[in-house]
Amino acid sequence: MSSKTLTCFCCLALSAAFALAQEPKQISEDLTGTWHCQFESPFGLQTYHFHLVVDNAGDATLKAEVDDRDEERKVEFVDVKVDGDSIEFAEVRQFGEREFRIEYSGKLEGDELTITRSFGQRGGQDAVATRNLPKPPPKEDPAPVVDVKIDRLIKDAFEDSFLIGMAGDLPSRYSEEELKLAAEHFAAVTPENCMKPERVHPGEDRWNFEQTDALVQWAEKNDMTVHGHTLVWHAQTPNWFFEGRDPETVKRRMEEHIETLAGRYKGKLQSWDVVNEAINDGGDAETSKTENLRNSNWLQTLGPEFLTLAFKFARQADPDAVLYYNDYNIESGPKHESSMVLLSRLLADGAPIDAVGIQGHWRSGRVPFEDIEKAITDYASLGLKVSITELDVTIRGESGGQFGRRRFRNSSPPSLEDLNAQAEDYAKLFSIFKKHEDVIERVTFWGLNDRRTWRWGQHPLLFDGNNNPKPAYASIIALTDGKGDENTPDHSNNVKIEGTCLPCRDGQRQGKRARRGQLTANEVERIGQSLLARLHHAHDS
């Protein structure tokens, strides 16, 4: 190195060092402005668009727009502290009756801000925030593993038995393709979230009817009936309902809520989930003799009477709507016994209840078929109608319908064995539903496809993430008659399960026997096994 170059280099280094010393780093300016960041949450991918402002006095304000899987929300963070390259803040979220605090800490490294967030005991999670917008989440699930062709729509196949529905806050944020799919295959829709108290009635004097009106209009235009969900629930219900905890005030708020919401759609909705999930989980021989009501704010403020009141208010608001009590796991064990005690009391007290919703969040390989059939006949014996209101049969993960329960997420494609086992479970379920079609009003899937489901990653529905029908779809329609054309000798074109693995012809043969009404649950089980055996054979050869 020449002495001239060395001098230059030294000058540069010195001036750089000088510049650093002279201009202390404006940390807050490096951190201020907009950052984008994605977190994997138990509810799916969440994209945060943070905006940090620091005023002259050094006080920091941090806000964000958040894209959740099924909603957009605005957040204003609390306890924002900026210190050098670091920032700390917290988000307070309301889940049902409970408030949760999510802690965040961020550290700036170059042009990336690494953010760790922690949620109670559940441990931390890191994500990197950048100035650039993140890539949108993958729109597509992995390629389908089997090619299933159907040329009969499930809603038509069960037209004479019961309505086939799906859940979703249609039409907002659904693609044209998804809306077409929904309208084509389903005869009923349940709003997945937008009619819940926290969404439609966030403050005593605040109502959000934009999405609910849009849904009702869209359903009308597409010839779908709407089932309202849900008026009185312990979850997704804001605390203002219970403020002061004075029974008369809480009762008035319940009445106004039901009157305004059910009244607005009077004559337009077919039915309502009036009370959702009022019974405790689990239970034992002792609790099974009682109603075993959940210790919700409703119970605490109004006592067990709250259910009767809710049904009376709903009947007043919309006299023609079919009124439901809706719950999960009420088909089995002590919770089933408690549901019978509760429903008997409601009927004896003159609560205008018409029907029971068995939610139906089940898990492939563990569906309690016998309990389900017994529950249907038990409820019918009380003179009530039954619907399966939130059907999904997951391939992986936990069963049960508790809101906010931690779920196992995995977007890897399901195996053929898994898909066939699921198809078999769905076929057995629908053979039970069909057998009791005189009692069953509606069977609603909780979502549209394996991307539009709260059980994302567990492949629970009839369509995969790319809107292709799964073997479950074919196995269900194979149970039905071919649209009244009894004399047509061969319905074999109705159901085709194509692909290297699921032999088409067997599907047809079994479909035909099923259409003659000869398929018992055991047979359906055997079909699944024979499909599996062939599948292994196809793989081996």
- Catalytically active residues are 390
Write the Ramachandran bin of 246: left for phi over 0, alpha for psi from -120 to 50, otherwise beta.
Answer: beta
Give the residue carrying structure tokens 């009036």.
274
Tell me how far, at minimum, the Cβ of 176 lies from ligand XIL, in Å: 22
Q: Contact between 392 and ligand XIL (CB under 6 A)?
A: no
Preceding amide of 171 cis, omega within 30: yes
Q: Contact between 401 and ligand XIL (CB under 6 A)?
A: yes
For ligand XIL, the closer CB: 291 or 327? 327
Tell me how far, at minimum, the Cβ of 330 lies from ligand XIL, in Å: 12
For ligand XIL, the closer CB: 316 or 332? 332
User: Residue 56 burial by CB count (10 A; 0-12/13-18/19+): exposed, middle or buried?
Assistant: exposed
Q: Contact between 369 and ligand XIL (CB under 6 A)?
A: no
Instruction: Give the tokens for residue 325.
Output: 């009590």
For ligand XIL, the closer CB: 338 or 453? 453
Q: Which of 47, 212, 237, 276 lies at the binding interface for ligand XIL (CB under 6 A)?
A: 276
For ligand XIL, the closer CB: 35 or 328? 328
C-alpha closest to that of 31 among 104, 100, 93, 101: 104
Q: Where are the beta strands (DSSP E) in 221-359?
A: 225-232, 271-276, 322-327, 355-358
Nearest residue to ligand XIL on Cβ basis: 454
For ligand XIL, the closer CB: 433 or 454? 454
Compute CA 507 distance to the chain's CA centroid, rounded to the nearest angstrom. 31
Tell me how far, at minimum, the Cβ of 193 lies from ligand XIL, in Å: 5
Q: Contact between 403 and ligand XIL (CB under 6 A)?
A: yes
Q: Contact between 192 and ligand XIL (CB under 6 A)?
A: yes
For ligand XIL, the closer CB: 170 or 495? 170
Give the residue carrying structure tokens 């969040």.
361
Count CB neighbours of 23 within 10 A. Answer: 8
Q: Which of 193, 300, 316, 411 lies at the binding interface for ligand XIL (CB under 6 A)?
A: 193
Give the residue carrying structure tokens 């060395």.
6
Q: Contact between 43 and ligand XIL (CB under 6 A)?
A: yes
Residues 6+ apart with CB under 8 A from 499: 146, 147, 148
Question: Given the DSSP bridges, would you call strands 60-67 and 44-54 parallel, antiparallel or unpaired?
Answer: antiparallel
Q: Contact between 379 and ligand XIL (CB under 6 A)?
A: no
d(CA 269, CA 207): 19
Tell me how far, at minimum, the Cβ of 265 lies from ligand XIL, in Å: 18
Tell me how far, at minimum, the Cβ of 159 lies from ligand XIL, in Å: 26
Q: Which of 298, 454, 456, 473 lies at the binding interface for ligand XIL (CB under 6 A)?
A: 454
Classify 87 as helix, strand or coil. Answer: strand
Instruction: Give the tokens for residue 149.
Output: 């062709």
Q: Contact between 174 and ligand XIL (CB under 6 A)?
A: no
DSSP per residue over 393-420, as a string?
EESSS--S--TT-------SPPPHHHHH
Q: Contact between 169 and ligand XIL (CB under 6 A)?
A: no
Q: Contact between 467 and ligand XIL (CB under 6 A)?
A: no
- The interface with ligand XIL within residues 108-127 (CB under 6 A) comprises none
C-alpha closest to that of 404 among 172, 94, 65, 126: 94
- The interface with ligand XIL within residues 50-89 (CB under 6 A) comprises 70
Tell me how far, at minimum, the Cβ of 64 lies from ligand XIL, in Å: 19
For ligand XIL, the closer CB: 459 or 515? 459
CA triple 221-222-226, angle to 5 deg? 90
For ligand XIL, the closer CB: 185 or 196? 196
Tell me how far, at minimum, the Cβ of 454 lies from ligand XIL, in Å: 3
C-alpha closest to that of 366 among 334, 400, 342, 389: 400
Query: x/- string (CB under 6 A) for ligand XIL, residues 349-368?
Result: ----------x---------
> Cα dihedral angle (323, 327, 332, 336), rounded to 10 degrees?
-60
Q: Contact between 207 and ligand XIL (CB under 6 A)?
A: no
Tell me how far, at minimum, the Cβ of 506 lies from ligand XIL, in Å: 36
For ligand XIL, the closer CB: 401 or 460? 401
**368-371: long-range contacts (C-beta < 8 A, 24 or more apart)?**
368/331, 368/332, 369/428, 369/429, 369/432, 369/521, 371/331, 371/332, 371/333, 371/336
Binding footprint of ligand XIL, residue count (CB under 6 A) = 10
Count CB neighbours of 35 within 10 A. Answer: 24
Q: Which of 354, 373, 390, 450 lies at the binding interface for ligand XIL (CB under 6 A)?
A: 390
Length of the chain: 541
| Chain positions contacting ligand XIL, by CB under 6 A | 43, 70, 192-193, 276, 359, 390, 401, 403, 454
